[in-house]
Structure formats: structure tokens, C-alpha cells
């Protein structure tokens, strides 16, 4: 099955939007704190039932898939024409956006994992020997911030794909059906000049 550029672009964007939606919903569903129940020398934290950890996990997976398809879009040989990596990365703009896309993807993935793991640990390790323990949850804003970074990462991958297609066209010297830049055909000029 041959992949089209539109299929890969839609896949990158769809998983990026899913990661964003899951992260924002996780941020909104996260309880502010748990209820401390004091016992003999311990505090047991009772947290309300919420889907935060599941939504955070889904966001992590969706962001990972978006980044994988973003990488795939750069190195995939469209129409059977493969281009050497050195020719692709000759473009400084592509190199810059590739590095930014990788960095933002790693940062978003790290933030989302940090928030999800922290929330999961708060829920599972709920017995504490400090009687002043207030039963916190994951830091507010981590899920939302990671969600926006996930959306940004998918947008950067889409820009990288566009720049890759330009670099491929330059390397393969594909003909532009519109002609050379600045070239005006006499027939087009004459037909547009008549009233």
C-alpha cells in the first residue's frame, strides 16, 4: 500500500489533536486534592474516582504516534523516489524545524508522563505517616501545558513534512507545471490584456 502525503499529514494531525484533547480533558477532570482520613499514626488519602490517569496515558500514546508518523513523513520514499538524508538536510530551514519538532515532542511527552505518573502515584500510594499530609494531586497545569505542547509538536511535524516535500522536489528536479518562476507565457499575457 502506497502512502500519500495527505494520508500521513492527516494521521500526524489527528494523533496530535487527540493528544491535545486527552490532555486538556485530563486537566479538567483532575481533582484538586484528596480527602485525608486520619488513622492511628497514619493519614489515608481518599481520592475521587476520575479518568485522569487513563486520559494522560492515552495522550502519551497519541503524542508518541504523532511523532512517529512525523518522523516517518520525513524519511518515507514518496512515489518510490528515495532521497539521501544529506540532500534532505541540506535545507537549513528543514534542519531547524526538525530539531524544534523533536525537542517539543520530547518535552511534551516528558511533561505528560510526569503528570500522569505523579497522579498515578498519588492515587496508588495513599497511606502516609506524616499526620500533616494534605493529599495533593499532580501539579495543576501540567496536563494542560503538555497538551498544548503536543499540539505544537504535531504542527511542527506538519511543517517539517512540507519542507521535506520541497527538498525532495529540489533534489529530484521535478518540473513545475506552472513554468519557471517569473516566466509569463505570451498567450496568457495576450488573453488577459484584451477587454
Task: Write down the domain spans for the chain.
Answer: 5-174
Burial class, 66, CB count within 10 angstroms (exposed 0-12 / middle 13-18 / buried 19+): buried
- What pLDDT, on a 0 to 100 scale, did the predictor assign at position 1? 41
| Alpha carbons 195 and 192: distance in angstroms, whole number | 8
- What pLDDT, on a 0 to 100 scale, did the predictor assign at position 150? 95
- What pLDDT, on a 0 to 100 scale, did the predictor assign at position 113? 95
Of 107, 136, 106, 110, residue with least CA distance to 34: 136
Alpha-carbon torsion (80, 95, 166, 19), positive or negative:
positive
| Alpha carbons 15 and 12: distance in angstroms, whole number | 6
What are phi and psi for residue 37, nearest 5 degrees? -115, 115
pTM beyond 0.75: the answer is yes
Query: Could you read off the pLDDT of 104-126 as tens digits, one per residue?
Result: 999 999 999 999 999 888 888 88
**Residues in the chain with pLDDT values less than 50:** 1, 175
Amino acid at each position: 500500500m502506497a502512502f500519500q502525503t495527505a494520508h500521513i499529514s492527516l494521521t500526524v494531525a489527528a494523533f496530535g489533536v487527540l493528544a491535545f484533547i486527552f490532555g486538556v480533558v485530563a486537566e479538567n477532570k483532575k481533582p484538586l486534592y484528596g480527602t485525608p482520613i486520619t488513622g492511628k499514626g497514619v493519614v489515608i488519602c481518599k481520592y475521587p474516582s476520575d479518568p485522569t490517569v487513563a486520559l494522560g496515558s492515552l495522550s502519551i500514546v497519541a503524542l508518541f504516534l504523532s511523532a512517529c508518523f512525523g518522523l516517518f513523513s520525513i524519511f518515507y520514499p514518496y512515489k518510490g523516489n528515495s532521497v539521501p538524508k544529506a540532500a534532505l538536510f541540506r535545507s537549513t530551514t528543514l534542519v531547524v524545524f526538525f530539531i524544534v519538532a523533536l525537542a517539543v515532542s520530547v518535552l511534551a511527552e516528558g511533561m505528560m508522563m510526569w503528570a500522569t505518573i505523579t497522579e498515578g502515584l498519588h492515587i496508588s500510594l495513599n497511606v502516609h505517616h506524616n499526620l500533616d499530609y494534605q493529599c495533593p494531586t499532580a501539579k495543576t497545569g501540567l496536563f494542560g501545558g503538555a497538551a498544548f505542547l503536543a499540539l505544537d509538536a504535531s504542527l511542527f511535524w506538519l511543517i517539517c513534512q512540507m519542507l521535506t516535500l520541497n527538498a525532495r522536489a529540489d533534489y529530484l528536479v521535478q518540473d513545475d507545471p506552472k513554468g519557471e518562476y517569473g516566466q509569463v507565457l505570451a498567450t496568457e499575457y495576450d488573453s488577459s490584456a484584451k477587454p
